[in-house]
A and B are shown apart, each in its own frame.
Chain A
Amino acid sequence: DAGVTQSPTHLIKTRGQQVTLRCSPKSGHDTVSWYQQALGQGPQFIFQYYEEEERQRGNFPDRFSGHQFPNYSSELNVNALLLGDSALYLCASSGLRTSGRGDEQFFGPGTRLTVL
C-alpha cells in the first residue's frame, strides 16, 4: 500500500517564476491538504481539497493556488515566486468520506523548493 507520494523531490527556481508541485494521496483517501514548512518551523496550513474543491484555506496569498483531480491527486501552484517561498512543501492526505474523520492526516516526504 503506497503512502502519500510527492514530486518532484527538489526544485530550484528564480524569483518571479511559477512552480507546480504534485501529490498523490494514500490509497483510499479522498482529501488532500498542503502545508509549507520553513526551516526550523512547524508546518503551516495552506489549503485543503475535497471533492475537487478548496474546502478550507490558511493565511496564504492568492499566488498560492491548487487543484484536485477526479482520482484525488492534487497540485499546488505558486506564481510570482518570492525568496520567502523557499521551504519544504508537504502534502497530507486523509479519508474524510471513509472514516468520517478528516483529521488524521498522513504526510508525504515533501518537495524542497529553493527560490534564488
Chain B
Amino acid sequence: AQSVSQHNHHVILSEAASLELGCNYSYGGTVNLFWYVQYPGQHLQLLLKYFSGDPLVKGIKGFEAEFIKSKFSFNLRKPSVQWSDTAEYFCAVNAQGGKLIFGQGTELSVKP
C-alpha cells in the first residue's frame, strides 16, 4: 500500500534559520507530489507541486522542494524562515489519480 512518511513531528526554529522538512513515500510508479500548508485557523493551502520535469520546484513564499526519485523523497526547504511560517506542513502523494495520500504532518514553530 502507498504511504507517506514525514520525518519530524515538530520542528522549532528561530527566525532566519534554514528549514528542511523530510518526506518519503512508498510507491514504485509515477507519482505527483505536493506540499500543503495549514496556517493556524486557516484551511489547507497548496505550497508547491511536482508533476514532471525539473525535479527542483519552487512554490509560494520562498519555499522549494526537490524530488529525488532514487530516494523516493520530496523534501521541503526554505533558506530563511520567518515567524509567519509557523504552521503545519503536509506532504502528499497522488499515484492512482484521485486520492491524495498525506503524511502525518510536521508542526513548524518559528520563534521571533
> Hey, which bits of chain A sit against chain B, CB under 8 A?
33, 35, 40-45, 48, 55-56, 58, 90, 92, 101-110
Q: Which of A41, A45, A110 has a CB less than 8 Å from the CB of B100? A: A45
Please encode chain B, from 70 to 112, with 1 for each CB lying within 8 Å of some chain A CB and 0 for all others. 0000000000000000000010101011111111110000000
> Hey, which bits of chain B sit against chain A, CB under 8 A?
4, 32, 34, 36, 42-46, 49, 51, 90, 92, 94, 96-105
Residue ID in chain A nearest B36 by CB atoms: A107
* Interchain CA distance A45-B34 in the complex, whole Å: 15
* Interchain CA distance A18-B44 in the complex, whole Å: 26
Q: Which of B42, B51, B100 has a CB less than 8 Å from the CB of A105? A: B100
Ordered by A's residue number, 6 sampled pairs between the chains whose C-beta atoms are within 8 Å are A41-B105, A42-B103, A56-B98, A102-B98, A104-B46, A105-B100
